[in-house]
Structure 1
Amino acid sequence: MPDSSEDSYSSSLLALTQGATLFFIGRILKNGLTALFNLILTRGLGATLFGIYTYAWTLTSLAIVLGRLGTGKSLLRFIPDYSDDLAKRNNFFSLALFTAVTGSSVIGVVFYVAAPTISSQTLESPLLVQALRIFAFALPFYTLIRLTGEVFRSVEKIKYKIVLIDILSPLSKVVFTGIVLAVGYSLLGVVTTLLLVGVFTFFIGIIMIIHSTDLRPSFDLQQTHKNYDEFFGYSIPLTFKDIGSLLYTRIDILMVGIFLTNSSVGIYRISTLLAMFLSLPLSGFNQLFPPIASRLYSNGDLEELGSLYERVTRWTFTLSILPALVAIVYGQEILLIFGPKFTKGALVLSILTIGQLTNCLIGPSGFLLMMTDHQYLNLLNQWILGILNAILNYVLIQRYGIAGAALATASVLSIINLVRIGQVWYTERLMPYSWSFLKPIIAGFTTVCTLITFSFILEGYVLLILGSTGGGIVFLSTLYVLGIEQSDKEFFSKILNDYIINRSV
């Protein structure tokens, strides 16, 4: 690779790594606060009421995705493309705002009216009806909060997204929900509190956009109309893609609520949240990968894009193996933290963890397809696999309960990942794997042997703490013995040198 290309590659990887590091720090805080929030809810509400809350919030989350109508991904695609054209950026920003407000408001009205019908077909609880109707008012605010996060990603100012969505929002939930439960309120008090938190976070987000970006709503209707086809030609396919995505990411919880009990929903949801923590490294790199990938692809820098793709995939897989193995081997001890009833989800946690690990193994392949103008291919993936997930959940839940839901979802997640890898190779001739992947795999094997050994001599929280610590030491030691990649050494050495120089200046 020529010097100029090498410098360009290092610059892209450095920007991506800095964004991922910031995101990772923020997401550690967010996941810690989210875990504390769910711990407060499970202890304060119990498995049954927590199940009702989970079902209401899951439906609200689906409505938030639909209400955005793909506008967030469109901002990631077009804002970087027109970095030198503020007028056009403002028009795309305006289209996104108008679409999100209109879509979420309409869905909120439908949500409010349909709440009794939803309850009668699922959990059959008056509390679910009331919770859904309160969340209907919260829907536009949470939709715009998510869109605000995509605005910060599109202009590569990830720290503002972290402050707003990863720190301020979950911290507010923990503090105010804890107070509400402490003074004696129950489920409806919690839901009302979340509505108020959404309103508060939304207004803070608007202030942050005004303060940190030059994006402003545009009222130039003529210019906005010129961008209409380009914007919605990209966002509408992504809306249908998101609907298909919901079928394979949320249909399991919806069907658990239809066929099983309220407490089963709560147990399954906690296991799902814990398994999703494994996607932290991938989510971190994905914060800035889309705009960087879009820029590299637009400039024709496919070699640099391929190198970035391979490095990010290897890093995300390596960072995910240790927590995945801990969750699989010590699942029961982890779930005991939330209460004895939740330990019934240990098998569910193991199955979902395996599915999430395959997600990390394929890296940012889904975003790579979208940023290289293959959004229709992504749409087809989501719908085919979403329908398959619905069918598998219907069959397996009735046969195996919540373990069947986990098996169906993990299987579909693994399938879609294999499909994406093949499609990226077929369309762009990019492959994220090399022989260097053997090192984290070998380290993972030695770690799982260590974790199992500890389980023979310890139990409970002592096993979780000491076993995880011992496993972590073995994992890192094995990686060190096998040797760090020379390219990684050079890259991190460059980061360290730049940091020292900047500090000295």
Structure 2
Amino acid sequence: MITFKKFINNEFIVKILESFFGKVSFVLFTMLFSFVCTRLYGAEIFGQYTYAFSIVTLLMIFAKAGFDNSLIYYIPKYKDKYISLSFFVNIIISIILVFVANFFINEWFVKLMLPLIWLVSMEQLFFSIYRANDNIKGYYFINGFLSMLIRILLVILFYFIFERNFISIALAIYISFLFSNLIYFYQNKKRFKKVVYDKGFIKYSFSLVLAAVMGVAMDRIDIVMLGTMTDMRSVGIYQISVQVANVIFMILVIFDTVFGPQISKLYHNGKYKELKRLYVQSTRLLGLLSFIIIIILSVFSKHILLLFGKEFVDGQMALILRGIGQFINVAVGSVWLMLAMTGNPKWHIYANFIAFTLNIILNYLLIPKYGVNGAAFATMTSMILVNIIGYILVCRVFKVRVYGIV
């Protein structure tokens, strides 16, 4: 059997390793942050934070307006030409979203978090710049280490200042995002030049928005509906289950961080055979690794959840169900990235729309009776559907077979 290393050069391996250590650092610190929050503030207040940040994450997709993926696609060809335009439009959309959202949201803790829409979306744009310029290590040192360390230390410090209060978590989040974005800007300030309007760039970016919105919505709508239809304690328990299950997804994120720009470069240089070989070999490896992790998480799910407190064991089945969904997600590889980075983002929109609609229907039917388990089953089902569709499309468009079945 041809080994994976024969299809990638040493530089690519180095970037994968940088992405791996950076993402592992971020995930570990995120889990530590959740551990500290659940231990100090309990499931209900942590649930408020999760519910509010989920809404911010959904709205953030509109704020970044698809520019994150567009920059990865365009920077290899046009360098820094569209960076200033992306950030300018991002600021305008963020202000509008925060203003409008205040009229439709009643929960005070959600309103308090709304300005994060700009900070979170801006960070995603910076992430694209680092990825497109092969400086993943530089980004993750800020995002996965410095920012998260500050966030954890502040949430502990503010606990003793404000006691057991949601504001403590909110302040820690704001300060950490402000810190990271200031560092990103300082390191990339020379890339910001005159705003150059280009209809083609805007059109391509906006075409990615709907797919991105429905993709994130599919991942977050269960939390929003769970908070609306049950209580914040259930949201807190469910969020921990989701975070643990997302350890599987981390493998794909690590790979995609490097693979996205690589797809764009290979595609623009006409190296289609190399692109297809890289996808097939990497997907097989991703499938094997994700299978091993889902087995481990399923066997030790109760013991893992006990680390966060006894009440979080109620999310054991939800963890397993979400883990199965993520296993399929990773096992099919970077299907939607393959399509988006080669100028075919529209299929993702259609597939996500179908899966998103199914997710809402299933959540509506299952949450009242099964709670967190119903939400997990709904998202697992829609996640499997959208990724199977993506796998079939990639196999047919690029004429490849990963597992010998299409």
- Name the counterpart of 2:90: 100
Which moves more between the two structures, 103-112 or 48-57? 103-112
1:17 maps to which residue?
13
Q: Which residue of 2 aligns with 1:394?
A: 364
Helix, strand or coil at the partner of 2:353: helix
1: CA distance between counterparts of 2:254 and 2:393?
Answer: 23
Inter-partner Cα distance in structure 2 for 1:139 and 1:243 = 14
Q: Does 1:364 align with 2:334?
A: yes
> Counterparts of 2:43 and 2:192 in 1: how far apart (Å)?
45
| Counterpart pick for 2:175 among 196, 201, 204 | 196
2:60 is matched with which residue: 64, 74, 94? 64
- What corresponds to 2:154 in structure 1? 176
Aligned residues of 1:77 and 1:371 also touching (Cα < 8 A): yes
- Distance in 2, matches of 1:265 and 1:163, equals 30
In structure 1, the residue matched to 2:240 is 270
Residue 379 of structure 1 and its aligned partner are, at CA, apart by 1.3
Check conservation: 2:19, 2:136, Cα contact below 8 A.
yes
Q: 1:298 is matched with which residue: 236, 247, 268?
A: 268
Once the two structures are overlaid, the 10-residue window that deviates more, 321-330 or 262-271, is 321-330
For residues 226-245 of structure 1, the aligned pairs below 5 Å read 228-245=198-215
Structure 1 Cα separation of the partners of residues 117 and 33 of structure 2: 20
Equivalent-residue separation in structure 1 for 2:169 and 2:6 (angstroms): 49
My pick for the range that moved more, 36-45 or 228-237, is: 228-237
Residue 189 of structure 1 and its aligned partner are, at CA, apart by: 2.0
Separation (CA, whole Å) in 2 of partners of 1:78 and 1:8: 28
Deviations 1:258-316 (A, max 9, x none): 11111111111110111111112211110121111112122221110111001211222
Moved more, 241-250 or 257-266: 241-250
- Give the alignment of 1:85-484 within 5 angstroms: 89-116=79-106, 119=107, 129=108, 131-185=109-163, 186-210=165-189, 215-219=191-195, 224-225=196-197, 228-433=198-403
User: Which is further off, 339-348 or 243-252?
Assistant: 243-252
Question: Partners of 1:16 and 1:390 in 2: how far apart?
Answer: 39
Equivalent-residue separation in structure 2 for 1:132 and 1:403 (angstroms): 25
Residue equivalent to 2:74: 78
Structure 2, unaligned stretches of length 5 or more? none
What CA distance in whole angstroms lies between the structure 2 residues aligned with 1:170 and 1:314?
32
TM-score for both structures, normalised by structure 2: 0.94
Q: Secondary structure at the match of 2:105?
A: helix
In structure 1, stretches of 5+ residues that fail to align are 1-5, 83-88, 120-128, 436-505
**Mapped partners of 1:434, 1:340: distance in 2:** 44
Residue of structure 2 equivalent to 1:123? none
Counterpart residue number, 1:47: 43
CA separation of 1:421/1:138 partners in 2, compared to 1, >3 Å: closer, same or farther? Answer: closer
TM-score under structure 1 normalisation?
A: 0.76
Deviation at 1:184, TM superposition (A): 4.4
Equivalent residues of 2:283, 2:334 under 8 A apart: yes
Q: How many residues are treated as equivalent by the alignment?
A: 401
CA shift for structure 1 position 15: 3.3
Structure of higher RCO (CA pairs closer than 8 Å, 6+ residues apart): 2
Aligned-residue CA RMSD (Å): 1.9
Read off the aligned partner of 2:176 and give its amino acid letter. V
The letter of the residue matching 2:112 is I
Give me the whole-angstrom Cα distance separating, in 2, the residues matched to 1:111 and 1:143: 16
Q: CA deviation at 1:172?
A: 1.3
The range that moved more, 21-30 or 185-194, is 185-194
Whether the 8 Å contact between 1:153 and 1:288 is mirrored in structure 2 is yes
Please state how far the C-alpha of 1:193 moved relative to its aligned partner.
2.4
Asked if structure 1 preserves the Cα contact closer than 8 Å seen for 2:130 and 2:138, the reply is yes
Contact 2:58 2:217 in 1 (8 A): no
The SS at the match of 1:430 is coil
